[in-house]
Structure 1
Amino acid sequence: MKAIVLAACLVCMSNGAEYVVVVSKKSSFGALSVSQIRDVFLQKRRSLGEQKTIPVNVLGHDEVRAAFESRVLGMDRNRLNAYWVKQHFQGVTPPLTQPSFESVKAFVENVEGAIGYLPGSMVDAKVKAVYEF
């Protein structure tokens, strides 16, 4: 019986997205492409359509942030750090950071145009998924 329950749990978990890029449920954003998200988080694009964007990262070296940087931005931490050093001298600042995924979620829920990423298990009716990775 325990094996059946464990197998059912594993199937349920595999159907959900591992990580998700999210915006406020009030946002007009629909599904976004990886290139749109990359441009927003690398500060190459400041808006999507008429909506100003505010990208937000989780602070530190969390595995979700590492997965986002690798799978979505296409950069490892060293290359990304070098990118931001170069951008700094051009007057471009990196995305805002929040100390936890709970903070990222609250920021996205309450700040118009905010876009962040979360573990798939944190996505609920308060935020809208626009990309899964």
Structure 2
Amino acid sequence: MKQIALLCLLCIALSASEYSVVISKKTMISAVTAQQIRDIFLMKRHSLGNQKVIPVNLLGQDISRITFENEILKMDRDHLNTYWIKQHFQGTTPPITQSSYDSVKMFVQNVEGAIGYIPSSMVDNGVKVIYEF
């Protein structure tokens, strides 16, 4: 019985994902708060200091996007959809989306001010981590 419990804990630990919010290495931003990230992805904030920022999301059903919305944006899918419907009528559009982690990473590397999130295991010298969740 003890072995089964340990095996279950190991499986949970292995399936737990850790993500990093990343920007280009060329960007001078070194760290941000969860609230700043939230404001950026809700299109309430368009710069950090003198740096214009462009948020990029994964497609809607990706597990990391759902995790991001719950942990960083502090909204479930229904609340977020209602938020964006209201924003639409005020002329605000949601962040752009990319179809894969690789696409998000390439976008962040190549578009000045782009900010996105990827699994921490994908972080390399092409991007800079500014927040982890």
Which category describes the TM-score, using the shorter chain as reference length?
Answer: 0.7 to 0.9
Task: Please list, as runs of the form range in 1=range in 2, the aligned pairs for 1:28-67 lying within 5 A after superposition.
Answer: 28-67=28-67
Aligned: 1:122 with 2:122: yes
| Equivalences, count | 120
Secondary structure at the aligned position of 1:73 is classed as: coil
Correspondence 1:32-111 to 2 at 5 A: 32-111=32-111
Q: TM-score, normalised by structure 1?
A: 0.87
Percentage identity across aligned positions?
62
TM-score, length basis structure 2: 0.87
In structure 2, give the amino acid aligned to 1:33.
Answer: T
For the residue of structure 1 that corresponds to 2:116, the secondary structure is strand
RMSD: 1.5
The one-letter code sitting in structure 2 at the alignment partner of 1:40 is I
Tell me, in whole angstroms, the C-alpha distance in 2 between the residues paired with 1:67 and 1:55. Answer: 16
Distance (Å, rounded) in 1 between the aligned partners of 2:130 and 2:122: 14
Alpha-carbon distance between aligned partners in 2 of 1:37 and 1:43, rounded to the nearest angstrom: 10
**Counterpart Cα distance in 1 of 2:121 and 2:112:** 23
5+ residue gaps, structure 1, are 1-9
**Distance between the aligned counterparts of 2:77 and 2:119, measured in 1?**
19
Aligned partner of 1:27: which letter? T
